[in-house]
Amino acid sequence: MGRTIITNIIRFAALIFIQTFLLKNMGFYNLSIPFPYILFIMLLPFETPNWLLFLLAILTGLTVDSFYDTVGVNAAACSMLALVRVIFINVTVERQGFENEPEPRLGIMGFRWFFIYTVVLTLFHHLTLILLESFGFFDIKYVLIRFLFSSLFTIFLIIISEFIFFRKKER
C-alpha cells in the first residue's frame, strides 16, 4: 500500500513535469499537442475509491491548468476521463475476470485490453478538452483535425511509455 502511494506520487510529479516543461510548447502547427499527463489517472489502482479518483483527476487537471493558464479546462477534461475510466473498468474488468489484478497496466492486463483502454479514455479526454478550448463549432474542421492528431500523438506516447516500463505479469 505504501509503495503504491509513493509510486503514484513519483508518477504524478514526473508526468506533470514532462507535460508542463517539455511538452507545453511542443506541437505541430498547434494541431497536435500531446497530453500524456492523463496516464497518471489511467494507471491508478483498480481499488481506488471513486471519490478519490475524481478528486485526484480534478487536482491533476487544475495543476496542468495552472501551468497552461486555462481556467478549469483540463480539470473538466480529467473529470470526464475519470468518469469514462469508471464506466470502462466496470464494463470490461468484471466481465473478463480481472478482479484480482492491482492496476490497469500493459504487463498485467495485456496489450489488447490496454490499447482499447488507452484509446477510449484518450478520445473522451481530448474531445472534452478541445471542445471546451474552442468553445463552439465555428471551425469544426480545424477542431476535428486537432482532436484526431492530438489523440494519436498522446496514444502513441502512452503506449511507448508503457513498453519502456513494461513488466510481465507474475503468476
Instruction: Decide if 117 is inside a domain.
Output: yes
Angle at 123 (CA atoms; ends 5, 29), nearest 5 degrees:
105
Across residues 70-90, what is the average pLDDT?
Answer: 94
Mean pLDDT on 96-115: 76
Q: What is the extent of the structural domain holding 135?
A: 2-164
* Per-position b or e across 11-50, b if 16+ CB within 10 A of its CB: bbeebbebbeeebeeeeeeeebbbbbbbbbbbbbbeebee
Residue 1 has pLDDT above 70, yes or no: no
**Cβ atoms of residues 163 and 105 within 8 Å:** no
Q: Return the biggest CA–CA distance within the chain.
A: 53
Please, which pLDDT band fits residue 35 given cuts at 50, 70 and 90? Answer: very high
Q: Does residue 157 lie in a domain region? A: yes
In a domain, 46, yes or no: yes
Q: What is the pLDDT of residue 170?
A: 46
The predicted pLDDT at position 148 comes to 94
**Residue that the C-alpha cell 489502482 belongs to:** 45
Distance, in Å, from the CA atom of 144 to the CA atom of 77, rounded to the nearest integer, reads 16
Those residues whose C-beta lies under 8 Å from the C-beta of residue 113, and which sit 6 or more positions away, are 92, 96, 98
Can you give the pLDDT at residue 106?
Answer: 84
Q: Residue 128 pLDDT > 80, yes or no?
A: yes
The helix (H) or strand (E) run that includes residue 100 is none
Find, among 167, 81, 71, the residue nearest to 120 by Cα. Answer: 81
Residue 149 has pLDDT above 60, yes or no: yes
Does 47 map to a domain? yes
For residue 171, being part of any structural domain is answered with: no
Whether residue 170 lies inside any domain: the answer is no
What mean pLDDT value characterizes the chain?
86
pLDDT for 101 equals 62
> For the chain, how many residues are written?
171
Residue 164 pLDDT class (50, 70, 90 cuts): confident
Q: How many domains, in total, are found in the chain?
A: 1
123 occurs within a structural domain: yes
Identify whether 169 is part of a domain. Answer: no
